[in-house]
Amino acid sequence: MYTMKKKIVTFGEIMMRLSPKSNKRFSQAEDFKINFGGAEANVAVLLANLGIHSTFVSKLPENPIGDMVERYLDSNRVDTSYIAYGGERLGVYYFENGNSVRSSKVVYDRKSSAMSTSKKGDFSFEEVFKDADWFHFSGITAALGENCVEALKEAIKVAKKNDVKISVDLNYRSKLWDYGTFKTVMRELIKDVDLCIGWIDLNSKSNEFTPVSFKDEVEEKDYFIKVFGEMNKELNVGLVATTIRETFSTSRNSLRGVIFDGDKLIASNKYEFDITDRVGAGDAFAAGLLCELANDKDIKEALEFAVASGVYKHTIEGDASIASYEEIKGITTGILAGGVAR
């Protein structure tokens, strides 16, 4: 574990997740299990568990539900000093966990949530970024509305003024974009960032994110070098990274990652694993990458740790990974491969 020497700030929405117990379907549910999560909140929780000084900035309703969320974050050693309060409600999403050939399902109930009503001027960015090393946000926050985009622009401006490095996970969610277009909005927000997870094909005619498939890894590598290289040259994006998932069933996947440093594409090892809970795996990848980059690790080493972090999250129930640094590192070194750690 690191010793809180680095400070990473994340900004976004945290929601209540309601899941039918015992892998039941929505139509079978008699009661629901509660978890809390959201892209940037999940990153913040894992960073804190890895020993980073992790600060989460958001807006919560000033009621007992908002208090529950703050207690959850506090229990994971996340700094909640800069959370704003207001609005009527916490966003909710319902999650039906899939199994084998049955896919998981998500239903959102986040309209008019406290965070979605936030705006420029609601947050103390000048104060929070004074001693920060990195700032991380996602495309999910941008999708909440134009008011949230303006708050993001304010955060980015202040972060840059304070020489804080900036990271973004594009995190495309088609169900959330009901204003503007993903490509137009995110193209502006990712200009000059130090790390972008995910990609925008600048030459594609589509204004949304279009998944791509490849006949082999050679074609895949050529595509990523081209698209990531264009982001690097045209938008001055520093590092561009992504995970590559192969799905054998809902319960078993493989994962690997690549990162482009402006010159070459670096690839990670590939892991195959069974799944307890897939939600938040991408956030665990982001947190792992940020943790290592913030502590000046080599890019290849940072990528390997990030992929192992994403893999490890699949074994943990809930939105956020609560793995230790040593547990994740054990995957990259082959020390931990099931069994009992004594």
DSSP 133-188: SEEEEEHHHHHT-HHHHHHHHHHHHHHHHTT-EEEEE----TTT--SS-HHHHHHH
Residue 130's pLDDT is what?
95
Residue 4's pLDDT is what?
56
Cβ-Cβ contacts under 8 Å for 56 (sequence gap 6 or more): 9, 10, 11, 14, 40, 41, 44, 73, 78, 79, 80, 83
- pTM value is 0.94
Residue 289's pLDDT is what?
99
Compute how many other C-beta atoms are within 10 angstroms of the C-beta atom of residue 263: 9
Structure tokens at 25: 């379907």
Could you tell me if 198 and 169 are in contact, meaning their C-beta atoms sit under 8 angstroms apart? yes
Structure tokens at 277: 């809970």
The secondary structure element, H or E, covering residue 242 is strand 239-249
Residue 177's pLDDT is what?
84
Residue 118's pLDDT is what?
96
Residue 116's pLDDT is what?
97
Residue 336's pLDDT is what?
56
Residue 79: name the closest of 125, 50, 48, 43 by CA.
48
List the domain boundaries for the chain. Answer: 7-333
CATH for 7-333 is: 3.40.1190.20
Could you tell me if 306 and 269 are in contact, meaning their C-beta atoms sit under 8 angstroms apart? no
Buried/exposed code over 222-253 (b: 16+ C-beta within 10 A; e: otherwise)? eebeebbbbbbeebebbbbbbbbeeeeebbeb
Mean pLDDT by 10 residues, the chain (342 residues): 79 97 90 97 98 98 98 98 97 92 91 96 97 98 96 98 98 83 94 98 84 87 97 98 95 97 97 95 99 97 98 97 96 68 44
List beta partners, residue 246.
254
Could you tell me if 77 and 323 are in contact, meaning their C-beta atoms sit under 8 angstroms apart? no
